[in-house]
Structures are given as structure tokens and as C-alpha cells.
Amino acid sequence: MITNYIEHHLPNGIRLFFMPTDKFKTISIALFIHQELNSKLAAMSALLPAVLEQGSRQYPDKLILQRKLENLYGADLTADIIKSGERHIMTFGCETAHDKYLGEGKALVKEGLSVLGSVSGDPLLENGSFKKEYVEQEKKQLIKDIKAMLNDKATYAYERCIALMCSEERFGTYKLGSIEDYNNINEESLYQYYNHVFSANPIDLYVIGDLKEKEVLDATGEAFSLSRLKEQNRLPLTDTKKTVQEVRYYEEALPVNQAKIVLGLRTYTAYGDDLYCPLLLYSGILGGFPHSKLFMKVREEAGLAYYVHSRLEKHKGLMIIAAGINYEDYDNAREIIERQLEDMAAGNISDEELDNTRQGLINRLRSQQDSPIQLIISHLDGSIGGKTYTAAELIKGIETVGKQEIQEAAERVKLDTVYVLRPQEGGSIK
């Protein structure tokens, strides 16, 4: 049983996707403002939701706003920035418990939409621009967040590999931008940017819950009434074509206990591509599951790692392999990993590996139907990738892919960059 979205356009061009369903105990609302990922705009795009979340005209500071949310039975308001492919998406979310569990005639959806509409569309202004105090405060917080990337070593190694590998591409931009960019932003320039983006860029609104279509339409129309341009900005698609000249190797030493190895590969297969389903199987067989080649060979047979896996960046067409190992085992681990890549390219896939991975991927897709946020994100992928798949279409695709197509996807894959984070003591190996 897979429910589908009812699609509407609000009078100002915002696209509304509403899914009526009584299976959740919540009402989930999410707003996405699309922007292209690019190093010049990244800091502004990251800063905007953070500043708006500090307060709106109706709820001018966090204290008032949070108290309002608590009185809505702890409605959870979020403001964030997402990097997906070469898209940079400002996002606001609000999740509330459904009224029917609270035993009173509440109208939480209306209230939730109203708060979200206020925070995103009716900001607090001072002398015709954003409140200076909030802008300066959030600049500091974001600079701190950029530095804090270092704290989780696996994330840090992943981000370093991406930045090095894609240094000449838009995708190499970190989702919070760079520290220097924040110095050039002030309350006026940010407010100008806000007006521009909110009036001209594509905006998607999602509502999921046990609700009537009319009540959702009325409430969204009222809450998101900001005026917008007729002609919307067209955002560029993600570039997935960059060629690999030679494999680049980077090593960095820090006072840590465990070495992290990250391999960045280009698959030349993007979300909308015919070989997308074969690619899902390819990465799944290689390193997406505990039954996959990487886990079996590197961890279960050689005992070299606790975690080792491959993950796709589906819109950019990248595959990232990551493992945490003893630095002395680097040569051994890399050799085993590369042997698995060669095996995949040579089509050495057993029926069991193929079948298990097929089922594992289908299980994941079906499970997504049980989570409001995953229902929203998987649909949003269609807007980002320029092609919409229903869950049923993806499942059918995965069911019918054969080894030959997987090998075809495998043959396209090229190793681009190797990044190693290693403990400070001990010499370099390259």
C-alpha cells in the first residue's frame, strides 16, 4: 500500500504536495526553497534559515517562538540547509502530534502552518532589513559549526575527500560555505538575498497527515501568501561528467587513534539516468549492506575494520567508500578494497549477492513509506534530479535489473581521489 501525493499550486506558485494518511500519529509539514549550490552564495543560503528561525514579526524572539511551540504540544520547528547534488536547499519543518491524540478540538495543522509561514515568510525587520543582532549572532554560530566539522572524524574525512576531489566543481562547496564568506554578509545584503530567493526561486511545500484536502488548501493559502514573481528562476542541473585524469592521493595527520580511509569515485550515472537502478545494485553489492563484498572481505574475513561501506551521492553520481582501520593495515585494506572494485567491474557477482542486495534495497524503499520525513525527502529527490520515480517504479526497476546492466554501470566507475586521515606518530607511506 503506497499512498501518493495530491499536487496543487498555491496562487503564488508555491507547489503543494499533500498526502492524506491516517497511519502516522503526527502532522508533518516541510518547506523547501531551492537554490543552486555555488561557492559565492553558499554562506548566505546557510545563514538565511538560521536567522529566520530566531524570530518573525509575529514571534519576535526565540523565547516567544519556543513558548508558542510548546503550547502547541511541543511542535518541533526546524530550520536547516541541505546540500544534495549541486542543489542547496533552505528548509523549514514543523512536526506536531495529531489533534486526535490530545482529546481536545485543536487545530494544530492550522497553527503549525501559521507558525511556519510566519517564520519563513514574514520576518522580523528593523530599519528595513533583518535584525542586526540576529544576523551577527548566527554568523558566529555558523562559523563555529564549520570548525566543528573536525569533531566527528568520519564526517571530517568524508568532507575533506569531497572538497579535494571536487575542488574545481560547484559540488566541492561545503554546505555551510567557507568562513571568509561570512565576513562580507550583513543584515542588509542578507535581506536583499532573502527577498530575491523567496520571490524568484522554486518553493515546495509538503503536508502529510490525517487531514482533509480543503482544510490543508485553505490553511496553506493563508499561511504562505507571500507575493512571488510569475517568472521563476530556472536552476541548473548537477554536472556529473567531470573526467578523471589520474588518481589523486591526499594524506593528513592528526593526533587520533584510528586512521580513516575515504575513496572518492565517479560513477557517471546520475539519478535520472537509465543505469540508475543498476548503480543502486552495484553500490549495494559492493558495500551497502552487512552481506556486501566490502563488509565480508575487509571486516569479516580480514578483521581489519569495524566499519567499511560504500555510499552513493545519487545526484552528483559519486560513490564514496569509507573505512576505519589501523594505519599499518592501510596497504592491505586498500588492496582488498580495490580487488572488490575489480571484481565488480569484471562482473564477478554471485546470484546470492545479487538477490540479497535486490531484496535489501526493496526493503529499504518500502520502509521509507513508514516515515513521513523519508516520504518527503524521497519525493524531493525528483525535484532535484529532474526525474520523478514513484517507489513502485524504483522497486520494479530493482527487481528487473540483470548482471549485465550492473556490469555496465560498474565499467563506468572511476576512482578519482584517495584521502587518508592518519594518526600523527609514524611515517608517511607514500
Partner 1 sequence: MRENLKLIENRELHETLYHYQFHPGLDLYVLPRTGYQKKYAVFSTRFGSIDNRFRVEPHPEVTELPDGVAHFLEHKLFEDERGNVFDRFAALGASANAFTSFTQTSYLFSCTASFEQNFDLLLNFVQEPYFTDKTVQKEQGIIGQEIKMYEDHPHWRVFFNLLAGLYQMHPVRNDIAGTIESINKISPELLYRCYHTFYHPSNMAVFVVGNLDPEEVGRQVEKNLLGRDYSPMGQIVRQFPDEPFEINQQKTVQELVVSEPIMFIGLKDNIVAKLESRQKMRREILMELVLDILFGSSEKLYNELYRDNLIDENFGAEYTNEINYGYAMIGGETRDPDQLYSRIMEAIENVKKEGITKEQFERHRRKILGGYIRRFNSLEFIANNYLAYRFRDNEMFELPSVLQDITIEEAMAVAEENFDPAYHVISLIVPSPEE
φ and ψ at residue 9, rounded to 5 degrees: -110, 125
Among 60, 61, 225, 382, binds partner 1 (CB under 8 A): 61
Residue with cell 564514496: 320
CB atoms within 10 A of CB 332: 14
Per CB under 8 A, which region of 66-74, 112-120, 159-167, 177-185 contacts partner 1?
A: 66-74
Give min distance, CB of 144 to partner 1, in A.
7
Site for partner 1 in 347-376 (CB under 8 A): 352, 355-357, 359-360, 362-364, 366-367, 369-372
Q: Cβ(85)–Cβ(238) under 8 Å?
A: yes
Per CB under 8 A, which region of 24-32, 186-194, 216-224, 261-269 contacts partner 1?
A: 24-32
Q: Considering the rule CB under 8 A, would residue 328 count as an interface residue with partner 1? A: no
C-alpha cell at 292: 556486501
Q: Considering the rule CB under 8 A, would residue 75 count as an interface residue with partner 1? A: yes
CB atoms within 10 A of CB 67: 11
CA 57 to each of CA 218, 363, 428: distance values in angstroms, whole numbers, following the listed order: 22, 45, 57
Q: Considering the rule CB under 8 A, would residue 178 count as an interface residue with partner 1? A: no
Q: What is the x/- site pattern for partner 1, positions 130-169, by CB under 8 A?
A: -------x--xx--xx-xxxxxxxx---------------
How many CA atoms are closer than 13 Å to the CA of 275, on its beta-carbon side? 19
Per CB under 8 A, which region of 212-220, 228-236, 252-260, 342-350 contacts partner 1?
A: 252-260
Q: Considering the rule CB under 8 A, would residue 345 count as an interface residue with partner 1? A: no
C-alpha cell at 208: 502529510
Spatial CB neighbours of 10, under 8 Å, sequence gap ≥ 6: 16, 205, 220, 221, 224
Rounded distance, CA 420 to CA 334, Å? 11
Among 127, 245, 404, 424, binds partner 1 (CB under 8 A): 424
Per CB under 8 A, which region of 31-39, 117-125, 194-202, 283-291 contacts partner 1?
A: 283-291
Site for partner 1 in 286-305 (CB under 8 A): 289-291, 295-296, 299-300, 303-305
Q: Considering the rule CB under 8 A, would residue 22 count as an interface residue with partner 1? A: yes
Which residues sit opposite 318 in a β-bridge?
A: 266, 313
